[in-house]
Amino acid sequence: MKIGIMSFAHLHAEAYISNLKNIADVEIIGIADENQGRGKYFSELYGLRQFSSYSELLNNEPEGVLICSENTKHRELTEMAANAGAHVLSEKPLALSVEDCQSMIDTCNKNNVFLMTAFPMRFSAPLMEVKKHLAEDGLGKVIAMVGTNQGQVPSHHRAWFVDKKLAGGGAILDHTVHLADIYRWYLNSEVVEVYAQSNHIIQAGVVDVETGGMLMLRFDNDTFATIDSSWSRPKRFKTWGGLTIEIIGEKGIVDIDAFSTNLHIHGGVEQHFRLDPVGSDANQGMIDEFTASIRDKRPPKVTGYDGYKAVEVALAAYRSIESGQPVLLSN
């Protein structure tokens, strides 16, 4: 199976290289990046072919591509790949408007290719275990959920993350989508109301996007949920980010920490203490699922529509912040 990578703008592309190499029947045909210097650096770093353009990569007929560009370019590259007959795994957020998300879905459907959204938390071992528990009615009716997806201000990884023209937003757009997707998956229910607040306390005057955000969601089954999507972790924090959920049900409460399986490492040049993850790799599960869907000729377990619905929630949050009022969604 031939897989190509379109853009190395997103830092997750680096992890995906090793994930792809772990799959026996996958050949990474190479990478393309409109930033030729960036493409040259990563192609040499990983010993991969650098294509001169996205078109040249697609002319080599990959069965699938990973799109790891800046957020604003997801639609353009997805539709280019779909029109060339390649299945697509696109980084999140899927796009910067619901209209763009729908166009990506329609273009992939028209060309009979799959569109998968990069939501690795769907493949996190503890989150999957809780999904099974909920499916077995282990908590009864879910009354409320409290979630956090916190991380560092990502500008020291890639500067474009805090450029509103390229990213589309800040912490809210970057981190809301993961939990919005997990909540929908857990509840089999859609968000019908969003209220949000944001702030720019962290790195005020340094970056031009919000660095803190809090959302309150109401689902069509009347479950209430919150999302802390802040970039509140210091640069030298022991982990890069994290995701937690507390679920309150009629029969009990479950606390989830998606990144709690790790080794405590003391010492080193960069920082005196860090946590190195061990155990299951959610990214590997996601890449395995993408390639399996191509191999088995079936839709992936996480779709473009899932990406659409998560973006819808994040964009509603921005409208709520602007108006100061809850925003209703039609489902």
Residues 90 and 5: beta-carbon distance below 8 Å? no
pLDDT for 318 equals 98
Q: Comparing C-alpha atoms, which of 194, 192, 245, 185 is closest to residue 219? A: 192
Q: Provide the greatest CA pair distance for the chain.
A: 58
Residues 68 and 89: beta-carbon distance below 8 Å? no
User: Rounded mean pLDDT of the chain?
Assistant: 94
Residue whose token pair is 């697609």: 58
Mean pLDDT of 47-75: 98
Contacts of 165 by beta carbon, 8 Å cutoff, 6+ apart: 72
- pLDDT of 239 over the 70 cut: no
- pLDDT of 210 over the 90 cut: yes
CATH-assigned architecture of domain 2-113: 3-Layer(aba) Sandwich (3.40)
Residues 250-294: tens digit of each pLDDT:
999 999 999 876 555 555 555 555 555 555 799 999 999 999 999
Q: Are strands 27-32 and 50-51 parallel, antiparallel or unpaired?
A: parallel
Q: What's the token pair of residue 54? A: 């996205």
CATH-assigned architecture of domain 121-280+303-328: 2-Layer Sandwich (3.30)
Q: Is the dihedral of CA 119, 190, 125, 177 positive or negative?
A: positive
Q: Is the dihedral of CA 117, 121, 124, 126 positive or negative?
A: negative
Confidence of residue 311 (pLDDT cuts 50, 70, 90): very high
Query: Is there a common fold for 2-113 and 121-280+303-328?
Result: no
Instruction: Give the C-alpha distances (Å, rounded to integers) separating 153 from 10, 202, 207, 324.
Output: 14, 8, 9, 25
pLDDT for 131 equals 97
Contacts of 24 by beta carbon, 8 Å cutoff, 6+ apart: none
Q: Comparing C-alpha atoms, which of 101, 19, 99, 100 is closest to residue 64? A: 19
pLDDT > 90 in the chain, percent: 88
- pLDDT of 76 over the 90 cut: yes
287 secondary structure, DSSP code: H
pLDDT for 260 equals 74
Q: What's the token pair of residue 143? A: 């009354």
Confidence of residue 242 (pLDDT cuts 50, 70, 90): confident
Return the minimum-mean-pLDDT range out of 23-27, 161-165, 232-236. 232-236
Residues 122-160: tens digit of each pLDDT:
999 999 999 999 999 999 999 999 999 999 999 988 999
Residues 183-200: tens digit of each pLDDT:
999 999 999 999 999 999
Mean pLDDT of 158-164: 95
Domain ranges, ordered by start, for the chain: 2-113, 121-280+303-328
- pLDDT of 33 over the 60 cut: yes
> Residue 113 and residue 100: Cα distance in Å, rounded?
17
